[in-house]
Structure 1
Amino acid sequence: MARPLLRLLLLVLFVAIGRLGPLAVRSEPIQDRAALLAFLDAIPHKQRIRWDANSSACEWVGVTCDANRTAVVALRLPAVGLVGPIPAGTLGRLSSLRILSLRLNRLSGPIPDDFAGLASLHGLYLQNNLFSGGIPSWLSQLTGLVRLDLSGNNLTGEIPFAVSNLTHLTGLLLQNNRLSGSLPSISIDSLVGFNVSYNRLNGSIPRTLRRFPESSFVGNLDLCGRPLPPCNPFFPSPAPSPTAEENPVKSRKKLSKTSIVGILVAAVVVLLLVLLLFLICLALLRRRRKQKAAMTAAAAAAGEAAGRSGGTGITSSSKDDLSSDVAGSGAATMAGAAEKNRLVLVGSGGGYRFDLEDLLRASAEVLGKGSVGTSYKAVLEEGTTVVVKRLKDVAVSRREFEEHVETLGQLERMDNLLPLRAYYYSKDEKLIVLDYLPVGSLSSLLHGSRGSGRTPLGWESRMRIALAVGRGISHLHTSARIVHGNIKASNVLLRSDLDSVVVSDFGLHPLFGSAAPPNRVAGYRAPEVLETRWPTFKSDVYSFGVLLLELLTGKAPNQLLTGKAPNQASLGEEGIDLPRWVQSVVREEWTAEVFDVELMRYPSTEEEMVQLLQIAMSCVATVPDARPDFPEVVRMMEGIADRTAST
């Protein structure tokens, strides 16, 4: 009786020990722990990494262990201030590592060879560092790799063909390096993300990579073939040489006759074209004379009517107010200007139903003076409120003005762009009419009163504004092929829904000719615009980069800054512009000090803020070709927004 009872007690005891064992004894990845401590001791870093040697390595920041806590399977240390080469014999000893993310640091030197031993690696994220040297050939041994991101470094040399051995790869990102040579024929069925833009690659794009978009290859001046422009042949096709049976003299005679016939036919065609153009010009001239005679008659009739009724109209006064004072002062009559008294609605006109007389009778107040003219808030008698912009220094003819404004008026359905509703043109006045948005501009929101009553502008709000502006300008570039030419915070108008923020004053620079420089506000102009005096798609990217820096720093770009650290900055005559100021601060490793104090309330988003800062700095590159295109900028910002939303 005692033996069965003893056996039962022993069985219960063993089961209890088995259940309590995992709780009583905690495993520890001893070898991986030693490798991590050796790495941290050998590399300079900021104090953000605080690994307690007395606690388990599985509880350290950025370290993830397997279920049994016997091995480190993921190491994520983005934007923690790591500086210099990765010490040999440290991270390469993490034999069970599956994810390694060291992005957004200042790591330099070649990618360590001992990474070849990380056979379990699925994701390698080393983007936005200072790594140099070539892409190591041993990468092909990491056959389990799913994602490889080496973008934003100083890598040189050719892309090894052995990359094709990574048959599980879904993303290969190598953009913004200094890679050269031709593209290998990488054929990986699982590959959905591929980018080698802004390198020094040459030759034809292999057939296996032509399924990727143009943005994956741009910025390589010597790269050609679909989806880029076709390649030019290296040598022209040689002309066939005469055979022994042919008589060279007879061949020359036949060629001469053919040439003569061709010249005669071409001459006849040119003559007919010249005659046709002459007839068209003559018909247009006669039509213009008839129109002028009709307008003269109408002007005379209008002059008589104005003399009888004492009516008033737009004056040639140079006063800045287009308020009731202009209509009340009435310094000029309508005589000789019947064709001017017409407000032309463009597009759908926004559903507005008013004419010039209604506009002149409206009460008006000055909203501000910008680089293209003065803006007024006009409240019509029936209660409608619009913005009237009185343009200055218009240098084009009436026909050119009307054609260009009509084109802009067709863009009213484009998201995040303020539609143009109507225009007026006369010798003395050029007006455009826009919707009135009561919330105000981004400039007033950022740089208004910062007293105790101010509501801080948070990270999410700034990100939504930046995305809305970027999408509007990207749509303008890609769908309408129109350069904005005047991107600045005062031209970003807010709505209560920040995703519906709109950009105004787009595409107006052709109206002023080459005499007036576009984007006259100091701080937003791209360096090349100061010489060419004409904006381009790339100069728009520069101006948008300055706008992003303005959102991140809270500082106006036309404010001159001196000193290196932000707490030493002051206004002065010998200052530097906002992009150079940010560069000087980041160079001194004070990156966190760049951001607006209102953003420092959100420490959990510092990584995303650093990423947006890097996008902004790529946009303000001095060389235009080094700047990304707008769709690429928007794509990168959407990636940041997605990560922000998921946290």
Structure 2
Amino acid sequence: MDHSKPCYFLFPLLVTLTCIIGPSWGQTEAEILLEFKTSLANYGSQLDDWNASGPGPCTGDNTNWTGVRCSNGSVFGLKLENMGLKGAIDIDTLMGLPLLRTLSFMNNSFVGPFPQVNKLVCLRVLYLANNSFSGEIRDDGFAGMNALQKFFLGWNNLSGPIPGSLATLPKLLQLSLEWNHFEGRIPDFQQDNLKFVNLAHNNLDGPIPYRLSNMNPNFFAGNNLCGKPLAQCKSSRKKRTIIIIIVVSGSLVVLALIAAVSYILEDPTIASQFKKPENNVKLGNISEDKSANYYKKSDENMKLHFVRNKRERFELQDLLRASAEVLGGGSFGSTYKAVVSNGRAMVVKRFKQMNNVGKEEFVEHMARLGRLHHPNVLPLVAFYYRREEKLLVSDFAPNGSLATHLHSRRGPGQAGLDWPTRLKVIKGVAKGLAYLYNQLSNLTLPHGHLKSSNVLLNHTFDPLISDYGLTAVVNKQQAQQFMVAYKSPEFSQYDRTTRKTDVWSLGILILELLTGKFPANYLTQGKASNADLATWVNSVVREEWTGEVFDKDMNGTKNGEGEMLKLLKIGMCCCEWNVERRWELKEALEKIEELKERDSDSDHVGDYSSYGSEGEA
């Protein structure tokens, strides 16, 4: 025996013993989990049952701590998905759980460098897809994880080469790295029993290794790869030419996109309203799902479901291949404009946090939304369903959103929306909202997310309400963090919404349209404070009526201030803090319908209280 290299003989034995007896820090599993909880952020009330006052995490026959999986009275796994978690994943603390074998933090908001997961040498399953990890992973970042069988890391922002240590893990069966920015060659995987390796939509190049040659071709899409199961590799000279063409063309497209987005987001108001959009040139980044189910039934699920019978059909692949323009990056995902093969411009909204109901109920709800037909409601054309991701497809509105017209920076001599146009917009919005109240009468929030960026304008500047009826399917925590209805006084004060909550959103929209001021409290996550746009308008009007409250960029106001004041009063009555005194939508619609572009001879401004009680701060 060669005694000069004892570690080569002892290391596998040490790993085996570690996974059997585990480390011992003298802490209970409850203490370890509570310490781990302190490293997390933004978990709201979802981990309230992780506390020291009650029973331990694996007491009795069933686990009683959210997301904790138990086996034989010990913690076996953690499944903390779709919680909006931030902060750090405290690997060192998790090392104190001797039987921990599965970890899933999918669909959260972790950012920064990839954690040192190889300290957890006993893990069998690790799901970290749909976060925002960035930077490179060390080549030995998975060294020693000889028990790892399933690893999902898709839909992050990781770059650099694929770590070579992944290619040597002896028990690895499933690997998902799609939709990152990995680059260079694919390492030479040594495993003979690999079920799938999904590397789609990265920046990889070169030949596909032999042991991956029988995989689904979709697992390699969106790269510059060749060889089975893709086309045969060409000569190096042709390859270099192709690469040069791709790089030059891609650079020009990216530069044009950056210039366009920079122009749109130059104004800080707009920049704060929309999150920084994802980088993309093709709409292909809306394809594969992150779960194992995708790989079992890809042919069945890779299709669009159309909800309007008389619309010309197109395939999901038409969208994936289409040139795409980033329109915005909202709280729920990115929005793209794509021109399909028939030349029609479509808008695709990608939602990650939409798992509040199962597939059957989701399909039924989308079909119901697809049956809606009103000139002021943006029609849903089709949808794409995956468990972890949904796409909603609708028509493109050529004049953009009301928010862009109200808040984007204008050059010298460029006028904002005039009073007649703003009046037309608010009349259309009120009609569309009333239609939703009628058709979606079973929903407490027929819209739920009514704001200026969800009011689109067609070629004649008629308004189209979008993103309606989604509170039933969006994850509850995500909805309460970001959707406008949950900024209302009744939710901020009493954790409830009512049939008048959408009326409150309409009132805020009216004030925003008249004043040109953005409702800053919409930008806060979770409940809004009392210091909102309605409070400001109320204080100005109550102290002394003055035309200063109206947007200075609003032209066409001559002989119309009386009607503008009436609309201002309507807005205040709609966003009255006291729900009992707040107007019903029917009353608001009737008053809005009576408004004219110009004051009549019999009109008079009157006092502020003539339309009802004042708004309360």
With structure 1 as the length reference, what TM-score do the two structures score?
Answer: 0.46
- Flag the structure with larger Rg: 1
- Higher relative contact order, chain-length normalized (CA < 8 Å, sep 6+): 2
Structure with the higher helix share, 1 or 2 = 1
